């Protein structure tokens, strides 16, 4: 697993070098908030804090995406966690994530229904479930996204995502869950945006009761490339896996590299 992590780290460094020198393209959201658009970008969660029943987990996550055309992109996310648990304080690389996005419909007129995309995230078992930096299982998370624009500055994006995991045990059973969420984003001419996302998570195995979450983001475009934002996720109802999650994020937007 250390060998696999090393290969992916090298690929991530290649992605960062490949991204250098790109420019923002026309037809993309001005702040990168449309989840259905393939886009070359870097997103960094500078500081993440997860408050769970058994302790607290702090982390930094680096995500890089490359859009090879205006309809397909791939990405890699590398997390590093520091966990404060009752038994010990531990740190290490978490479960590395590889993502794929394909946009099947993209209307030039961004009014009403604008786009539809499919994708999947694959989480590798690169963390350590014993010390809290990983789940201890491989996870595949396919999803569907649609984007609706109510005017130029208001986006509604319903997302349906299924989570399957492999390698579960009696103590940590495999996942079979569905997330249904709707991202509602209001952007302003001055570069601010606010996103509110209600979410329902259904456990088809019946291990957990249906969970209700609320995600919120407040962000600001410093210029046409750089953005800073803060996320907050709170548990509203159902079986509780965490109390809340907070993140401070930095974003850099590039133009997708169009390969003929």
Kindly report, residue by residue over 65-80, the tens digit of the pLDDT. Answer: 999 888 999 999 999 9
Residue 207 has pLDDT above 50, yes or no: yes
260 within some domain: no
Q: Indicate the SS3 state at residue 16.
A: helix
103 within some domain: yes
**Which is higher by pLDDT, 86 or 244?**
244
Lowest mean pLDDT among 11-20, 52-61, 74-83: 11-20
170 within some domain: yes
224 within some domain: yes
CATH number at residue 208: 2.40.160.40
Cβ-contact 223, 251 below 8 angstroms: no
**Intra-chain end-to-end CA distance of the chain, in Å:** 35
Count of the separate structural domains present in the chain: 1
Q: Please give the residue range of the domain that contains residue 164.
A: 2-24+40-253
Residue 94 has pLDDT above 50, yes or no: yes
Tokens representing 146?
């649609």
33 within some domain: no
pLDDT in tens, 118-157: 999 999 988 777 766 777 889 999 999 999 999 889 999 9
Q: Indicate the SS3 state at residue 159.
A: strand
How far, CA to CA in Å, does 196 sit from each of 33, 116, 203, 210, 232? 12, 20, 23, 20, 10
| Spatial distance between the Cα atoms of 96 and 80, rounded to a whole number of angstroms | 9
pTM for the predicted model, two decimal places: 0.82
52 within some domain: yes
**Which is higher by pLDDT, 81 or 25?**
81
Cβ-contact 123, 95 below 8 angstroms: yes
121 within some domain: yes
Residue 3: what pLDDT? 47
32 within some domain: no
Cβ-contact 196, 181 below 8 angstroms: no
pLDDT interval class at 50 (50, 70, 90): confident
pLDDT interval class at 15 (50, 70, 90): very low
């Amino acid at each position: 697993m250390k060998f696999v992590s090393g290969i992916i780290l090298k690929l991530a460094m290649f992605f960062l070098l490949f991204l250098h020198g790109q420019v923002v393209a026309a037809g993309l959201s001005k702040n990168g908030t449309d989840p259905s658009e393939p886009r070359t970008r870097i997103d960094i969660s500078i500081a993440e804090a997860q408050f769970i029943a058994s302790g607290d987990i702090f982390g930094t996550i680096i995500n890089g995406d490359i859009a090879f055309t205006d309809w397909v992109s791939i990405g890699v996310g590398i997390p590093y966690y520091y966990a404060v648990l009752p038994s010990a304080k531990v740190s290490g690389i978490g479960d590395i994530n590889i993502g794929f996005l394909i946009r099947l419909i993209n209307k030039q007129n961004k009014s009403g229904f604008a786009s539809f995309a499919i994708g999947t995230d694959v989480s590798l078992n690169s963390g350590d479930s014993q010390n809290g930096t990983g789940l201890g299982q491989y996870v595949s998370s396919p999803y569907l996204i649609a984007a609706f624009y109510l005017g130029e500055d208001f986006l509604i994006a319903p997302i349906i995502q299924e989570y399957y995991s492999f390698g579960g045990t009696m103590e940590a059973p495999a996942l079979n869950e569905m997330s249904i969420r709707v991202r509602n984003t209001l952007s302003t001419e001055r570069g601010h945006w606010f996103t509110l996302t209600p979410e329902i998570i259904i456990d088809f195995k019946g291990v957990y009761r249906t969970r209700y979450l609320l995600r919120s983001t407040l962000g600001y475009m410093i210029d046409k490339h750089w953005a800073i934002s803060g996320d907050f996720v709170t548990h509203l109802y159902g079986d509780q896996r965490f109390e809340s999650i907070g993140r401070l994020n930095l974003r850099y937007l590039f133009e997708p590299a169009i390969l003929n």
